[in-house]
Amino acid sequence: MKWFAVFCALFVALCWGLYGPTLSNARSPNREWGPFKPYLFIGVAYFVIAIVGGSLMMKFVFNDNFDYTGTYRPAMQWGFLAGCLGALGALGLTFALTRAGGKPAYVMPIVFGGAVTVNAIAAYFMLRGSVDINPLMWVGMLLVAIGIVLTAGYTPHAHPPGKSPGGHEAAAEQGTGAASATTGKSPGGGQH
């Protein structure tokens, strides 16, 4: 059954990997709206998928009950805490990709590399003293940090509006600019 866990993890990586680029489309080009405008519909999506979809799965696929008292209480408590962490993470990511003007090319590696590291540190403190901690965990965390920097630094970034890949103004390189490149003169008559 481990293959199914790996498949599910890859599915999460696919969804969350596309989350940043998708969310970056929700930012206002002229700050006409704030980050809570798209965040509200992130919540709607959570409602539809988690509550409606989860209820249908509980009832018709797993034949589960809707009792959250007694022995079922941890499902409610820890599920709510996990949901709060997920929603706060989505809020932080929404701010990073909208109001703060961050780009998915570097925000997402920080988020996911950081999440792996936080997960390892949390496991370390939760299990310290009851299991042996392999020192290679710390090496892995260092490699994750290096991976974040390399991935963020070398992920293709879109060029700013009006700029060509070479860094020249797009308008200047078209028409008269193309002719001036061969003569060495700028459109105004001066030298480059």
Contact call for residues 187 and 177 (beta carbons, < 8 A): yes
CA distance linking residue 78 with residue 84, whole number of Å: 10
Burial (0-12, 13-18, 19+ Cβ within 10 Å), 135:
exposed
Q: Which of 18-27, 38-47, 64-73, 166-175 has the lowest mean pLDDT?
A: 166-175
CA distance linking residue 185 with residue 182, whole number of Å: 8
| Res 161: pLDDT | 57
| Res 28: pLDDT | 81
What percent of the chain has pLDDT above 70? 81
If pLDDT is split at 50, 70 and 90, which confidence band does 35 have? confident
| Res 30: pLDDT | 82
Domain ranges of the chain: 33-102, 103-156
pLDDT value at 192 more than 80: no
Backbone angles phi, psi at 128, to 5 degrees: -60, 130
The residue ranking higher by pLDDT, 192 or 24, is: 24
pLDDT value at 76 more than 50: yes
| Res 166: pLDDT | 59
* 127-186 pLDDT, tens digit each: 988 888 899 999 999 999 999 999 989 988 776 556 665 555 444 444 444 444 444 444
Residue type, 42: I
Write out the H or E segment, with its range, that includes residue 62.
none
Q: Which residues contact residue 43 at a Cβ distance below 8 angstroms, ignoring those fewer than 6 apart?
A: 87
| Res 177: pLDDT | 43
If pLDDT is split at 50, 70 and 90, which confidence band does 54 have? very high
Q: How far is CA 17 from CA 111, 113, 148, in A?
A: 10, 12, 14
Q: How far is CA 96 from CA 56, 90, 102, 103, in A?
A: 34, 10, 5, 8
Q: Which of 1-5, 12-16, 93-97 has the lowest mean pLDDT?
A: 1-5
Complete DSSP assignment for 154-182: HS--PPPTTB-TTSSBHHHHSTHHHHHHH
- Ordered alpha helix ranges (H), the chain: 2-24, 36-46, 54-56, 73-97, 104-127, 136-154, 170-173, 176-183
What would the mean pLDDT of 77-84 be, rounded to a whole number? 95
